[in-house]
Amino acid sequence: IIKSSREYNFPLVIKLVISDNRNAFGLKYAKKYNIPYKYYSSDNQNLFERNSLVELKKRKIKFLCLAGFMKILSKNFIRSFHHKIINIHPSLLPKFKGLNTYNRALKNNEKYTGCTVHHVSPQPDSGNIILKKKIIIYDNDTENSLKKRILKQEHKLYPEAIRCSFR
């Protein structure tokens, strides 16, 4: 997303990166590209959300892109952004909501899987779908090989979904 945001005519400017993981790649990219960033522990969800909201409002941020964020945001947090929050999920939603998507797709003998960018709603992985990318599951796929192939597609799909969100 950060790399795409540097392209001509990309519809948004990244003003801030927030993470609850000190070692998140997003924080490393933010440092590299001189984007302001914040780390807040999510041990206390209310405090994490309050700190995040204060910072987001201070910077007048009106659109959020979640990436690698593995927490469920509260209804109040989501409401405060009028559903202008999007997320990416490593499955073809509505199939395999939640965790362990690669393993579940393999165990279910699916022929295809992929990734989905969707609006965030109070029910996890249930918001309106913006875009999906389908990939074939090969007979020799493992969780790790599937994860790597899906992640490559996520990096392409997410910027495209952001463009769609601003058309």
Structure tokens at 140: 């020799």
DSSP letter assigned to residue 67: S
Residue 122 has a pLDDT of 92
Q: Is 118 a catalytic residue?
A: no
Question: Measured on CA atoms in the order 44, 45, 49, 52, is the torsion positive or negative?
Answer: positive
Number of H helices, E strands in the chain: 6, 6
Residue 70 has a pLDDT of 85
Stated as kind and residue range, the H or E segment containing 86 is strand 85-89
Catalytic residue among 82, 83, 89, 119: 89
User: pLDDT of the chain along its 167 residues, tens only?
Assistant: 999 999 999 999 999 999 999 999 999 999 999 999 999 999 999 999 999 999 999 999 999 999 988 889 999 999 988 769 999 999 999 999 999 999 999 999 999 999 999 999 999 999 999 999 999 999 999 999 999 999 999 999 999 999 999 98
Q: Considering only CA atoms, which of 51, 20, 18, 49 is closest in space to residue 36? A: 18
